[in-house]
Amino acid sequence: DDAEYKKICENHKHLIETLPKCNGWRTLHLHNYNGYWLSTKILKSNLLIHAYFKSQPTDIFLASFMKSGTTWLKALVFSTLNRDRYTFSNHHLHNHSPHSIIPVIDAESYHITDFTNLSAPRLFSTHYPLPLLPACMSCAKLVYVCRDPKDVLVSKWLFMSKLRSKDLPPLSFDEAFELFCVGASEYGPFWEHVLSYWRASLENPDKILFLKYEEMKKEPEMVVRKLAAFLGKAVTVEEEEKGVVREIVKLCSFENLSNLEVNKTGVEKFGKVLDVEKRDFFRKGVIGDWKNYLSDEMKERIDGITDEKFKGSGLTF
């Protein structure tokens, strides 16, 4: 009830006041909660998830570090899962943005939204690292997408600079670089985020599918087949003959999605936390744009961190 909710929020407020802080990329502050940096609202939302969110075993979660290909993954999973429901000439994604069809659990008002009206399998997305997800979600399936941290850094800095409060001085790329390297950015550290899901995917490959943006770019059809099988709807011979996989890849391509009117105009609302211009989810959509922003020295430094953090994990870029 309302009194209980107020009490819970009050407790969360006190907890947050005790946590270490650093400068945010979008907001004034981030708080360090269990090793991860979150803005005040996103942290509050996380605490509320633990109090209110009830996962169902049929749920499917799409997880990612920000700017790693979430929008693309949403479109791919939705169209793969629902390939019998729509034709490719008249598809739901033609007039619904990927973010509007899959809610982000990080920005909801949990005492009022309970998602029980959604039919199974429910699709959700999140940027929280695995250790910050409630235990009830461990029964659900999860698809994680990761991306070269150099491209993530550039994409994130450009994106967050647009969303950054106008009351704050701009964040220079050099500052963003330094912060990123020490893990201090929304949902960071990047490397621990990725590793949390990577390790879990090795332990539990039937529950967690780990994808890379780069592999999606190079072999999108293979990734769609992998997704379909993982989601329990393997692509059939008949579908292969009809070219269904190719249709899904084409529908979800950067060129196609970014040119749809529904993705070019208007704003995407993430709860009460954030409004984002829809077109800002589509920038270049390529591998290696970091070359236009990072010096050789910066590249060496990030690659060095990645090598060290991922050493022995089996994960490489």
Active site residues: 127
DSSP single-letter state for residue 57 = T
From residue 91 to residue 130, the character string flagging contacts with ligand A3P as x (rule: CB under 6 A) and all else as - is ----------------------------------------
Residues 279-298, interacting with ligand A3P (CB under 6 A): 281-285, 289
Measure the CA–CA gap between 197 and 208, rounded to whole angstroms: 8
Reduce the DSSP state of residue 214 to 3 states and report it: helix
Q: Is 68 in the site for ligand A3P (CB under 6 A)?
A: yes
- State yes or no: residue 26 binds ligand A3P (CB under 6 A): no
How many angstroms separate the CA atoms of 317 and 308, rounded?
12
CB of 9 to ligand A3P, least distance (A): 29
3-state secondary structure of 302: helix
251 lines the binding site for ligand A3P (CB under 6 A): no
Q: How far is the CB of 210 from ligand A3P (least distance, A)?
A: 15
Rounded least distance, CB 253 to ligand A3P, Å: 6
Candidates 60-68, 89-97, 102-110, 191-199; binding stretch for ligand A3P (CB under 6 A)? 60-68
Q: Which of 25, 33, 37, 72 binds ligand A3P (CB under 6 A)?
A: 72
DSSP secondary structure of 174-197: HHHHHHHHTT-STT--HHHHHHHH
Q: Which residues contact 85 (CB under 8 A, 6 or more apart)?
A: 92
Reduced to 3 states (helix: H, G, I; strand: E, B; else coil), residue 243 is coil
Burial class of residue 79 (count of CB atoms within 10 Å of its CB; 0-12, 13-18, 19+): buried
**Residues 132 to 191 in contact with ligand A3P, rule: CB under 6 A:** 151, 155
Q: List residues binding ligand A3P (CB under 6 A).
A: 64, 66-72, 151, 155, 252-254, 257, 281-285, 289
